[in-house]
Amino acid sequence: MSDTYDRLNALCFGGRLRPVVIRLEPWILSIDTPGLRLAGAWDSDGWSIAIDRALLDHPRLLVGALLHEMVHQACHQAAGVGGHGPFFVAAAALAGGPLDIPGPTPATASTWPYPIPRQLLKEI
Ligand SMILES: [Zn+2]
């Protein structure tokens, strides 16, 4: 996982992201917040990224979830900005460019770049 992080950092963020702790957790896909379901989580206090370990079986979704959280990290690192507002949308568009991943719109930012298929979501 840290290899993937390092590659994405070099390719999509110019290597500017500071090292983080990356954890695989069993609970993240269970989180239900209004309007979205999460596959990863950025923790600016702990400077860490958590990814649901169920994504290990879904490499594309795993990379997508990691990239999403890395954009959160980039927003925090550059400007202390959280959430999925204009700053996130702009940063995601820049980060996705080298991978030919289209940037999000304000409406799709919270599930960018790949929405999690319903069958992966865990019952609460
Ligand atoms: Zn997010």
How do strand 48-52 and strand 32-33 relate by DSSP bridges?
unpaired
Q: What is the pLDDT along the chain (124 residues), one digit of tens a residue?
A: 899 999 999 999 999 999 999 999 887 777 666 656 678 899 999 999 999 998 999 999 999 999 999 999 999 999 999 999 999 999 999 999 999 999 999 999 998 998 877 777 765 4
Asked if 66 contacts 51 with a C-beta cutoff of 8 angstroms, the reply is: yes
110 CA distance to ligand 1 centroid (A)? 5
Q: What is the pTM of this model?
A: 0.91
Å from CA of 15 to ligand 1 middle: 21
The beta strand positions in 18-86, using DSSP E, are 21-25, 32-33, 36-37, 40-43, 48-52
Q: Which of 23, 21, 41 is nearest to 31 (CA)?
A: 41
Domain 2-120: give its CATH superfamily.
Metalloproteases ("zincins"), catalytic domain (3.30.2010.10)
